[in-house]
Amino acid sequence: MEKLKAKIREIKDFPKPGIGFKDITTLLSDASSFNRAVDLMAHRYLDMDIDIVLGIEARGFIIGAALAYKLNKGVILVRKPGKLPYKTNVVNYDLEYGTDTLEIHQDAITPGQKVLIADDLLATGGTVAAVIKLIGDMGAEVVECAFLAELAFLNGREKIKDAPIFSLLTYDG
Ligand code: AMP
């Protein structure tokens, strides 16, 4: 895991002062690292009962699509407002300053489906908590939320009461 972590570049003070941004593009562009990371994540889900994988815009699309392909499942998208062409269900959620919105196609999930949520990174947990609510309101069940990396020192996990969390790589500080 340390080898994979070493492939993620940290950019200090991006997008604003005080934030250490985990830039996963350096891991994604390295064939063996990307392959290994996806294989390790997918391996965990091979024997789990999953109907579909959900990717959160934008880096979650990359992780989610790769996992879905490996697991031989379809992939569905949660996007920022105004991007999805068909009728959508919407969730608003609080950020540190202000609010944000995410959307999903109304027919992306059917009630009772078992969904694996995928994103690149768990920080405060606000985004994934909103996605859990969005698809829970549609009658679907979250099997797990899978992240390539987690900033454990932000305690995002504590915000997620309704679904298990898995992250391949953990940063403690
Ligand atoms: P959060 O809602 O705080 O868990 O933030 C989750 C989303 O913001 C993820 O989809 C990440 O892509 C992005 N994000 C938040 N903090 C960072 C960070 N320090 N480095 C890279 N991405 C981040």
Per residue in 146-172, pLDDT tens? 999 999 999 999 999 889 999 999 999
Q: What is the DSSP string of 114-141?
A: EEEEEEEEESSSHHHHHHHHHHHTTT-E
The answer to whether 23 touches 9, Cβ cutoff 8 Å, is: yes
pLDDT at site 100: 95
Residue carrying the six token digits 């940063």 = 171
Neighbours of 44 (CB within 10 A): 14
| pLDDT tens per residue across span 48-105 | 999 999 999 999 999 999 999 999 999 999 999 999 999 999 999 988 778 999 999 9
pLDDT at site 161: 87
CB 64 less than 6 A from any atom of ligand 1: no
Quote the percentage of the chain above a pLDDT of 70: 100
Q: Which atom of ligand 1 is nearest to the CA of 19?
A: 19
CB 122 less than 6 A from any atom of ligand 1: yes
pLDDT at site 27: 98
Q: For residues 108-132, give the mean pLDDT.
A: 97
Write down the pTM of the prediction.
0.97
Structural domains in the chain, CATH included, are 49-171 (3.40.50.2020)
